[in-house]
Amino acid sequence: MSSVPSRALVMLSLCLTLIVLPACGQPPEKELHEAQGALDAARAAGAPQYAADEYQAAADALKKAQTAVTDRDYRQALNFALDSRERAQDAVKDAADRKAAVRGDAERALVEGRAALEQARAVLADAEAAHTPAKLLAAPRATIDQATDALQKARTALDAHQELKALDLASGIAGRLKATTQDLQALLAHRRRPR
C-alpha cells in the first residue's frame, strides 16, 4: 500500500521535471527581444537624458541576461531579461515626466528672460536718450545682445524638443538682465542728480 503513494509521487515529480526542464533548457529569446525592444523605446523617449539611472539599470540588466545566456543559465537570463524590460518601461515613464517638467522650467525661464529683456532695453533706451556716454553703455549693451541671442537659441531648441538645451540656454538670463537693468538705472540716477 505504501509503495503506491510513493510511486505516484515519483511519477508526479517526473512529470513536473519533464514540464519544467524544457522551459529551463532554452534561452528566453522572446523575453530578451522584449527587453531589447523596451530598451530601444526608452532610448527613443529620451531616457538616457531624462531618466539616466533607470535607463542604465535596464541596459545593465539586459547585459547580465545576455551573459547568463552565454553561461547557459537560462533561468537567471530570464530573470534579468524581465527585470530589464520592466526597468526600461519605467524609464520611458520617468523620461516623459521629467521631460515635461524640464519643458515647463524652460518655458518659464524664457518668459522671465523676455520680460527682463524688454525692461533692460527700455532702460537702455532711456540712458541713450539722456546722452549717456557710449563707453558707459557698452557693457550693458553687450549683455543685452548676448541675452537676446541666448533667448533666440533657447526658443529654437525648445521648438526642436531639445528641452535640456533650452533650459540650459535660458537659465540665469533673467537674473543677468535684471542686474544690468539695475546698473543702468543707477547710472541714470547718477547722471540726473543735480551738480
Q: What is the 3-state secondary structure (H, E, C) of the chain?
A: CCHHHHHHHHHHHHHHHHHHHHHHCCCCHHHHHHHHHHHHHHHHCCHHHHCHHHHHHHHHHHHHHHHHHHCCCHHHHHHHHHHHHHHHHHHHHHHHHHHHHHHHHHHHHHHHHHHHHHHHHHHHHHHHHCCCCHHHHHHHHHHHHHHHHHHHHHHHHHHCCCHHHHHHHHCCHHHHHHHHHHHHHHHHHHHHCCC
The answer to pTM > 0.85 is: no
How does pLDDT run along the chain (195 residues), one tens digit per residue? Answer: 444 556 555 455 554 544 444 445 799 999 999 999 999 999 999 999 999 999 999 999 999 999 999 999 999 999 999 999 999 999 999 999 999 999 999 999 999 999 999 999 999 999 999 898 999 999 999 999 999 999 999 999 999 999 999 999 999 999 999 999 999 999 888 877 665
What's the rounded Cα separation, in Å, for the pair 122 and 116? 10
What's the rounded Cα separation, in Å, for the pair 152 and 116? 14
pLDDT digits (tens, 9 = 90+) for 71-91: 999 999 999 999 999 999 999
| 181 and 122 Cβ atoms separated by less than 8 Å | no
Kindly state the cell numbers that stand for 85.
524590460
pLDDT digits (tens, 9 = 90+) for 121-148: 999 999 999 898 999 999 999 999 999 9
Hey, where are the domains in the chain?
A: 27-96, 99-192
Kindly state the cell numbers that stand for 132.
549717456
Q: Which residues contact 62 (CB under 8 A, 6 or more apart)?
A: 32, 35, 36, 39, 80, 81, 84
